[in-house]
Structure 1
Amino acid sequence: MTEQHSGSGFDPATATIAIVTYNRSGLLSRLLSSIVEMDPRPGHVVIVDNASTDDTTAVVDSFRDRLGTELVYRRMETNTGGSGGFSEGMRVAYELGSEWIWLMDDDVEVIPDGLAKMGAWAPRFKSIQGRRYDYDGSEFYWQYRLSIPFGIPIPFAPAGFDASGYREMNSGCFEGMFIHRDIVAQIGLPDPRFFIYWDDSVYGWLASRRTTAVIVDEFVLRRTREIRQWDMGIRHLNASSDAYRYYIMRNRGHMKHYFRANGAYRPVRFWLGSGLTFVKELIRLVFVERKVRGTSNLFRGIRDGRKIAKDAAWRPMPPLEAAPAEGQPSL
C-alpha cells in the first residue's frame, strides 16, 4: 500500500455491507463465514432476502451471535430482483447512518482484509470498485467503461493498471460497489424497476457524473459460484438465462429515459447499441448455451422496452436530499 492512499480518515465502523440473496442459503452462509473472518469488520451487515423459500432465515439467525457486527435482516414480501434488493439494502444502510455502503451478491466471499483495502482509497474517491477473483481463482475482468452514446460496455477497455493503482470508470457493478452516502444522497437509490440487468451500469454512470469513480487494483472479493462460459482468449462470455435475456432488452427502455433525462441520449447510436446487444445475446445462446431456443425472450424484451421508452409519466429515481442551494459548494 502506497503512502498516497494510506487510508487515513476511514473508520470501518461507518461502513455497511449490504447483501442481496434469493434461495441460495449455502452461498449466503459461505459469504457470512468470510465476513466473520474479516479484519476489520464493518459496523453493520444488512441482508435483503428476496422472499426465499429455502432455509435462508435460519441461516441468517445462526450468524447473529458470531458475525461480530450488527446484523439487520430484511425479508421482502415478493422477489424484487437484484434491483429491488439492492435498492432496499442501500435504503436501510443509508438510514442506519452509514458513511460507506458496500454492495454484494450472495455468490461471493470477502477477502479478509477487503474492507481495509477499500477503505484505504476512501479519502480520495467516493465511488470505488474493487477487483475480484473468479471461481477458479483467475482474475475476473469486469467491463468498467460504458460507451454512453451506444449504451453498451466497452469490451476491451484496458485491464492493466499503472503506478497510480486505479482507472477511472463510468459504470458500476453491484457485486462490489463501494459508495459514499454523499453520492447516494445526490443520485437517489438504485432503481427497482430494472428488476435485473443494466441497473448497476446506469447507477454507476450516474455516480460518475457527480464524482470521480474508479476501479482500483485491489482484490477484495472471490466468486463462489461456477458459471458456464465461452473462453474467447482475451475475454469470455458467461451463460445467461431466459429472464436475463428478457430484461437485458426490456431495460433498454429505462436506460434510454435515464440518458435522455441527463442529456446523453443519442437516438441513432443508442439504437445501434441495442442491436449489438441483441446480436451478443444470440451469440451467447449459440456458443455458450449451445441452443437456439430463447430468442422469444429477446423479442418480448424489445416489445416491452419500447412501451417503457414511450411512457410519458416515467421519472428517474429522486435524490434523497435536496441539492445545495445556489452558491453553496457541491461535491
Structure 2
Amino acid sequence: MNKSIVVAVVVTYNRLNLLQRVVGSLIGQSKRLDKIYIINNGSTDGTKEWLDGQTGLNVIHQENVGGSGGFYRGIKEASKEECDWIWCMDDDVFPREDCLETLLNVAERHEKLGIVCPHRLMSGKTFVGEAKTLNLTNPFSDMHNDMLTAQEVESNETVSIVGMAFEGPLIRKEVVEKVGLPNKELFILYDDTDYSYRAVLAGYKVVVARDALMDKYDFQSNSSYREDKMKNKWKLAYHIRNTAYFGHRYGKNILVRHFAAMPFLLHMYAAITFNFVKGHKYSFSDYGLFWKMMRRGVREELGKM
C-alpha cells in the first residue's frame, strides 16, 4: 500500500446531503486519508450542526467567501500538516473507492507531476471541461479554444492540461510551497484554472488520470425561472471579470492583457439583444454591468461583489 501522507480538503456551501455522501466516499477510500478538512462556507441548511456532531473531521466554519476563499483556507490549513499531497474537491463530486490510490500510483511515477486530476463521470459518461492549452496571444479568439475531449481522456492513461477544476485534483505539497495558495479574491470561477496555470508556469505538469474515477453530481434545477435567471447573471458577471483578470495577468501582448474577455462579452451582448425580443432574462442595464465587470478585471479589482 502507498505510504504517502495525504490530507483532503472539501469546500461546502448549503449541500448537506451531498456533503454527507462526499465524506462517506473519503472515509471509504482504499488508501486511507491521514486527515480530512471540511471548509464550511457559511451554510444555513444544517451543515454546521451536522459537522459539529462528527468525529474524525477537521472542521472550519467561516463566512461565505466563495469557492476560491474556501480552497484558499483549506489548502492553507492542509499545507501546515506533515503531508506529501493535498486532495481538493467541491461538495458535489464523489471519488470511487480506489480513486486516491490510483491518483497516487500515477503521480509518484513522475517526479514533475505536480497535480493529478481524476477522470470525472456524470451519469456514467465522461465529463470534461479542462483546457489543454490557453489562448493568451489572440484577443479575438476564445481563451479556452483547445479543450480536453472525452475521447482523449478515455484513450490515454494520462493527458496533459493547463486548466483544471477544483473537483478532485491531487496537489503535491511542494507545488503549494512554490506557487502559494489559490487567489481568494476571485471569489468564484477561474481560481482553479489560475492555480493550475501557476503550477505549469513553475515547471510542473498537470494531468488527468484516466483510471482514477470520480462521479460528479448531475444537478436538476428545481429553482424558479427568476431564480435561475439571477443566479446565471451573477455567475456570468464573475466569469467576465475573472476572464479579463486572467488575460491581464498572463496575456502575452497588450491586446490580450486588455481585451481577453471581449469574445465572451460580445457573446453576452448578443444574448441580451436576443432576449429583448424572445424573453426577459436580461435587461438593458446588463450591457453596462458586463462592460463594467470586464474593466474591473483588467484593473485587477477583485473580491466579492
Q: 1:58 aligns with which of 30, 49, 67?
A: 49
Give the partner amino acid of 1:173: A
* Aligned 8 A contact 2:243 2:260 in 1: no
1:179-215 deviations in whole A, cap 9, x for unaligned?
A: 1111111111000110001111111111111212212
1:302 is the counterpart of 2:291: yes
Per-residue CA deviations over 1:273-311 (Å, capped at 9, x if unaligned) read 412223455688889xx9552465574243144235336
Q: For residue 35 of structure 1, what is the aligned residue in structure 2? A: 26
The answer to whether the 8 Å contact 1:90/1:189 transfers is: yes
- Which residue in 2 is equivalent to 1:327? none
Secondary structure, counterpart of 2:167 in structure 1:
coil
- Alignment partner, residue 144 of structure 1: 131
- Matches of 1:209 and 1:218 in 2, distance apart? 26
Q: How does 1:174-253 map to 2 (within 5 A)?
A: 174-210=166-202, 211-227=204-220, 241-253=232-244
Superimposed CA distance per residue, residues 71-98 of structure 1 (whole angstroms, 9 cap, x where no aligned partner): 211101x210001001001001101233
Show CA shifts across 1:148-190 (max 9, x none).
Answer: 3357222544441587611111112111221111111111100
Answer yes or no: is the 8 Å Cα contact 1:39–1:112 preserved in 2: yes
Tell me which moved more, 291-300 or 34-43.
Answer: 291-300
TM-score of the two chains, using structure 2 as the length reference: 0.81
Q: Alignment RMSD, CA only? A: 2.9
Once the two structures are superposed, what CA deviation does each residue of 1:241-260 show, in whole Å capped at 9, x if it has no partner? Answer: 2221110012234313431x
Scaled by the length of structure 1, the TM-score of the pair is 0.75
2:255 to 268, 272, 278: 268
Q: How does 1:112-123 map to 2 (within 5 A)?
A: 112-123=97-108
* Runs of 4+ residues deviating >6 angstroms: 282-287
Tell me which protein shows more helix as a share of its residues. 2
Measured after TM superposition, the shift of residue 218 of structure 1 is 2.4
Q: Which amino acid aligns with 1:249?
A: I
Deviations 1:108-143 (A, max 9, x none): 111111100111112111211111111x22111223
Q: What letter is aligned with 1:256? A: G
1:50, distance to aligned residue in structure 2 (A) = 0.6
C-alpha distance 195-180 of structure 1, shift in aligned 2 (>3 A): same
Q: Hey, what's the Cα distance between the residues in 2 that align with 1:112 and 1:207? A: 28
Q: Return the alpha-carbon distance in structure 2 between the equivalents of residues 221 and 171 of structure 1.
A: 18
Identical-pair percentage: 23
| Shift of residue 221, structure 1, vs aligned partner | 1.3
Query: Structure 1 residues 194, 59: closer, same or farther in 2, change over 3 A?
Result: same
Query: Is the alpha carbon distance of 1:63 and 1:220 closer, same or farther for their aligned partners in structure 2, counting shifts above 3 Å?
Result: farther
Alpha-carbon spacing, 1:63–1:291, altered in 2? closer, same or farther (3 Å): farther
Judged with a 3 Å threshold, the aligned counterparts in structure 2 of structure 1 residues 177 and 282 are, in CA distance, closer, same or farther, namely: farther
In the alignment, residue 33 of structure 1 is paired with which amino acid? G
The one-letter code of the counterpart of 1:222 is D
Q: Match of 2:57, as an amino acid? A: L
Given the superposition, is the C-alpha separation of residues 116 and 61 from structure 1 closer, same or farther in structure 2, using an over 3 Å criterion? Answer: same
Preserved contact between residue 243 and residue 297 of structure 1 (Cα < 8 Å): no
| 8 Å Cα contact 1:248/1:301 also seen in 2 | no
In structure 2, stretches of 5+ residues that fail to align are 222-229
